[in-house]
Amino acid sequence: STHLSEPQLELRDFEESMQQWTSFQSKTHPLSLSLTSQLRLILTPSQSTKLSGSYRTGKRLNIKRIIPYIASSYKRDKIWMRRAIPTKRSYQILLCVDDSKSMGESSSGELALESLVMVSRALTMLEVGQIGVLGFGENTFVAHEFTEPFASHDAGAKVLQKFSFQQDYTDIQLLIRQTIERFRLARLQNTSRGSKSEDLWQLALILSDGLTPSSAHEDIRILLREAMEERIMIVFIIMDDTTTSKKDGDSNKNQSVLTLKKVRFLGNDEIKTEYYLDTFPFQYYLIVHNLEDLPGALAGLLRTWFAEVNA
Amino acid sequence: MEDTPMGQPPMAEARQIRVNFTTSSPDIQLPEGKTQLLVPADIKRYGLSRVLNSESMLDTPAPIPFDFLIDGTFLRTSLEDYLKTNGLSFESTLTLQYVRSLIPPVYEASF
Ligand SMILES: [Mg+2]
């Protein structure tokens, strides 16, 4: 089957999706507010982290200017550096939601949609830039374009309509490839509209149970390196709801991905088990058991990342 | 890692299926947190039996041959074929009920 053609989407009922959006929104409202205030500090820095420039007064001496200063008989006295006024950043944030069957068979699907509502609301309130939504499974599909506004219930309901967790495969490798391509295109479109591209930050948040064939992990790792070189940040949020089960009986209760192991048959008749997450290729990932964990965990991870980038 | 033996490149790794082992015999119960596993899709009864006996699972002193029931029927094909025959998805977690095999095939004496 060809991965690039978008499948015909079976849309869920609009009224039902609208109700779902409204109920998720009121349920997650306090969390959205909390995430907004935490992200505001991280995404819109109040001062530049680097000292630069040449001024008569400032915070730190610019060593390179000391010799000319002496040589000029102390006339060229702009020897100080200051923290420059920060340039305003703009963001393109792509929320990628796993639409595969494994999500629907556990409660991870519902947790992912709640998270989607919570995070997208927080980002909309922040007004930091464009928000897009991508669904993925066997194929990927656009659930919301970057260029469309996301501020209405209507837009939200239209997004939810597209998720029914019926896809028979979870191709995260394809997702990453498409994410990189979409960001490349979005950057070009942003630049052509006259925004300065160096101030544009691109961030993808993946909401998924984390399960994709182990054999693809290495190829994903290679794609992630490519993304990093293009300054695309990809955060994987593993939806790991183990508290409830849609199927009857405790025996069907999904075990946490943290303790999930995979079996390998070695050539010498040996059997080895190793943790699934041991080969998980994402450097920036967090595991969410309850929705309440998400704002703090996500903010913490983004804070770490920005600190690393600015170091 | 060095644990990939020659002639078995990593790409030979088959598709995976998530399985959940259950049993009604208390003496061969798996500890909690060990009941779920990702197994290669082409695995059959014999492979599953070996997995269950292995050190990281039941760690049996002497191998016990097992049979597996899915939805009340004995597994006689690979898991992959079972999924296909029953129109199921690789995305599903398969519940495998394991029981001591009543008539162990001869070759299993060489475990
Ligand atoms: Mg899946």
Whether A61 and A131 share a structural domain: no
Q: Rounded to whole angstroms, how far apart are CA atoms A60 and A48?
A: 14
- Write the CA distances from A164 to A103, A168, A289, integer angstroms: 9, 12, 21
ipTM of the complex: 0.82
- The domain tally of chain B equals 1
Q: For the segment B17-67, what is each residue's pLDDT rounded down to a tens digit?
A: 999 999 999 999 999 889 999 999 999 999 999 999 999 899 999 999 999
CB < 8 Å to A211, chain B = 18
State the DSSP string of chain B: -TTS-TT--GGG---EEEEEEE-S-GGGPPPTT-SEEEEETT--HHHHHHHHHSTTTT--SS---EEEEETTEE--S-HHHHHHHTT--TTSEEEEEEEE-SS--GGGGG-
Question: For a pLDDT cut of 70, what percent of chain B falls above it?
Answer: 79
Whole-number pLDDT of residue A153:
80
Average pLDDT over residues B3-16: 53
Note down the domain range covering B77.
13-110
Note down the domain range covering A62.
51-83
Could A263 and B37 be called an inter-chain contact, meaning their C-beta atoms sit closer than 8 Å? yes
Q: Which residue has the higher pLDDT, A17 or B105?
A: A17
Q: For the segment A85-122, what is each residue's pLDDT rounded down to a tens digit?
A: 666 788 999 999 999 999 998 889 999 999 999 999 99
User: Residue B3 — very low, low, confident or very high, per pLDDT cuts 50/70/90?
Assistant: very low
Expressed in angstroms and rounded, the spacing between residue A157 Cα and the centre of ligand 1 is 23
Could B90 and A261 be called an inter-chain contact, meaning their C-beta atoms sit closer than 8 Å? no
Whole-number pLDDT of residue A163:
97
Collect the ranges in chain A with pLDDT lower than 50: 1-4, 246-251
- Write the CA distances from A271 to A242, A257, B48, B54, B106, integer angstroms: 28, 21, 11, 7, 22
Whole-number pLDDT of residue A182:
97
Min distance B52 CA to chain A CA atoms (Å)? 10
Q: Which amino acid is at A161?
A: Q
Q: Which of A241, A292, A224, A306 is nearest to A34 (CA)?
A: A292
Q: Which residue has the higher pLDDT, A253 or B94?
A: B94
Considering the domain boundaries, does residue A150 fall inside one?
yes
Q: Which amino acid is at B81?
A: D
Whole-number pLDDT of residue A86:
66
Whether A74 and A204 share a structural domain: no
Whether A27 and A139 share a structural domain: yes
Instruction: Tell me phi and psi for residue B71, to 5 degrees.
Output: 50, 40
Whole-number pLDDT of residue A1:
40
CB < 8 Å to B88, chain A = none
The answer to whether the CB of B52 falls within 8 A of the CB of B66 is yes
Whether A193 and A112 share a structural domain: yes
Whole-number pLDDT of residue A248:
47
Whether A160 and A282 share a structural domain: yes
Q: Which CATH number fits the domain that encloses residue B101?
A: 3.10.20.90
Structure tokens at A235: 């955060």
Whether A93 and A72 share a structural domain: no
Pairing of β A271-275 and β A261-265? antiparallel
Structure tokens at A31: 């969390």
Whole-number pLDDT of residue B6:
43
Q: Rounded to whole angstroms, how far apart are CA atoms B55 and B50?
A: 10
- The domain tally of chain A equals 2
Whole-number pLDDT of residue A268:
81
Q: Which of A6, A199, A245 is nearest to A107 (CA)?
A: A245
